[in-house]
Amino acid sequence: MSSSFFVKAKENPKLSKKGKNTPVTKRKGDGDSAAKSKVRANKPTSKYNEEISSDSETEGPIVPRKRQSNEDNEYAETPQEKKLRLAKLYLEQLKDEEERKAEEDDFESDLIAGRLEEEVLEQKGKLQRLIAKDLIPPDASEIRVLRGHKLPITCLVISPDDKCIFSAAKDCSIIKWDVESGKKLHTIHGGRKGTEDRHVGHTAHILCMAVSSDGKYLATGDMNKLIMIWEAATCKHLYKFTGHKGPVSGLSFRKGTHDLYSASHDRSIKVWNVDENAYVETLFGHQDSITGLDSLSRERCVTAGGRDRTVRVWKIAEESQLVFHGHEGSIDCIQLINEEHMITGADDGSVSLWSVNKKKPLSTVKKAHGCHGDAELQQPHWVASVAALHNSDTVASGSHNSQVQLWKCGQNYRGLEPLFSIPVPGFVNSLKFSSAGQFLVAGVGQEHRLGRWWRLKEAKNGIYVIPLKRKPPNPEEAKMTE
């Protein structure tokens, strides 16, 4: 008993000296050797033990003190170890950054590859974005009407950035509208007949208009055989092109250039260079008045030949043409969907879908807008206008049955299915989709754009801005929107 008591007391003589000034008596014997071995065992932690007073030593057990000394040894690292640790940390950070950059580069390369693939398909005329399945009819309250023209609207175009609408009418005026606010930005007033020499602008019904793909130039054509070129931003008059021997019925800028194609009732196609204010060449082929024209980025244009019942694809560089037959009546409107496919409408009430590789329509819908008249003398509603959302499966047609009809093109443009109709009272003389596919614009009048066969008194001369609403992607989002 006595030896164990003295061993405990003599475990750390230095600490007890530092804590208390009273000397501790040492004893010889068995306890001495035990104490010496204990001191040897505790030598590595002597520095740590020196910092702790003898009071605290007697209070706490031995095991926790050893654990603390081990922890101290773990955290006490040499400068070389610290450098090594920091170097490893830096290398790990560099590795993480490289991985993140690699992921970003892969994402960007995938995006670029996707865009390039789309561009290649677009050039080949095989790009078909499936949009129609997501479209839903807008509410009547969501359709805006822009009023400003005194007489029926005959044609309109949307600026490439979708911010402005240019419209023209039988009152010979041109109005530039702001899409968002619906306000007039600029008005070019029409002049009276006989004032051509002193009036800057049109003095006859404007039948067609086009805007260049960069939004720089606006071109307008009228019944007086004139083509006017305007600066789109300011509506300042720039040039006047003369040369057609009949009313100018179709205009289109080649995408990405300032080359202008024009069509006329004189049955000719003319090519102009707007930058140089120059006439380039004339192409002939149609057997009757040309009623519509359209083009995209290839050096070619498509035309509707009216009562000669043909659609023609003109290869400008080769000065050659492809002739297509299919409609039973006068073909009054035409629009390209992509480089390989187009949509047409005729006064026999039919809407047809074409490929430039087939001489006959891929699909035709007869009586697309129904019929009017007595039971025995029913006549189909004329299709006065068509529009296509470029590189998609969505097209639209307009007549005078108070409806704008939206259609879905089948896989590879093999069919036409009706989507839904939008109530628009009056003659729908012009239709255009916005570039981004967010809205459809209809130019409406009380009369047909080419004549005065009927007059719908209940209709209003105006521009209808129709939003193209989409279905919510999934039920959860639908709940969130509600």
CB 268 within 8 A of CB 279: no
Q: Is 378 exposed, middle or buried (0-12, 13-18, 19+ CB in 10 A)?
A: exposed
Helix (H, G, I), strand (E, B), or coil: what is residue 339?
coil
Distance CA 177, CA 239 (A): 22
Reading the block at residue 125, the tokens are: 């005329």
* Euclidean distance between CA atoms 23 and 5, whole angstroms: 17
128 located within any domain: no
The domain tally of the chain equals: 1
Determine, yes or no, domain membership for 375: yes
In a domain, 107, yes or no: no
pLDDT for the residue 25: 44
Give the pLDDT score at 115.
Answer: 65
Q: What is the pLDDT of residue 402?
A: 84
Element (H, E) at 395: strand 394-398
Residue 314's nearest CA partner among 270, 255, 363 is 270
Q: Is 377 buried (19+), middle (13-18) or exposed (0-12) by CB count in 10 A? A: exposed
8 A C-beta contact, residue 286 and residue 271 = no
Distance of CA 468 to the CA centre of its chain: 13
The Cα–Cα gap between 437 and 388 comes to 10
What one-character-per-residue DSSP string does 273-314 give?
ETTTTEEEEEEE--SS---EEEE-SSSEEEEE-BTT-EEEEE
Residue 78 lies in a domain: no
pLDDT digits (tens, 9 = 90+) for 19-65: 444 444 444 444 444 444 444 444 444 444 444 444 444 444 454 55
Name the token pair of 277: 């204010």
Q: What angle do CA 65, 70, 74 make, to 5 degrees?
A: 145
pLDDT recorded at residue 191: 83
User: How many residues does this entry show for the chain?
Assistant: 482
User: Using an 8 Å Cβ cutoff, are 367 and 416 in contact?
Assistant: no
pLDDT for 112 equals 75
Q: What angle do CA 302, 307, 309 make, to 5 degrees?
A: 55
In a domain, 31, yes or no: no
Asked whether the whole model's pTM tops 0.75, one would answer no
Across the 482 residues of the chain, what is the mean pLDDT of every consecutive 10-residue run? 46 43 45 45 45 46 50 68 87 88 78 67 67 88 90 92 93 92 91 79 91 94 93 92 93 94 95 93 93 93 91 92 91 92 92 92 91 80 91 91 90 88 90 93 84 75 91 61 48
- Residue 250 phi/psi, 5-degree rounding, is -150, 140
In a domain, 82, yes or no: no
What CA–CA distance (Å, rounded) separates 283 from 41?
A: 110
Q: What would the pLDDT profile of 391-404 be if each residue is shown by its tens digit? A: 899 999 999 888 89
Cα–Cα dist 137/145, whole Å: 17
36: helix, coil or strand? Answer: helix
Under a CB-based contact definition with an 8 Å cutoff, are residues 171 and 150 in contact? yes
Tokens representing 231 are 């600066």
Which segments of 20-78 does DSSP mark as H helices, in order? Answer: 30-41, 46-50, 54-59, 62-75
Please give the pLDDT value at position 103: 82
Q: Compute the distance between CA of residue 138 and CA of residue 144 in angstroms, rounded to an integer.
A: 11
DSSP secondary structure code for residue 45 in this structure: G
For residue 450, give the CATH number of its domain. 2.130.10.10
**Structural domain of 363:** 135-473
C-alpha torsion 291→296→302→306, nearest 10: -20
- DSSP state at residue 260: E
> Does residue 30 sit within a domain?
no
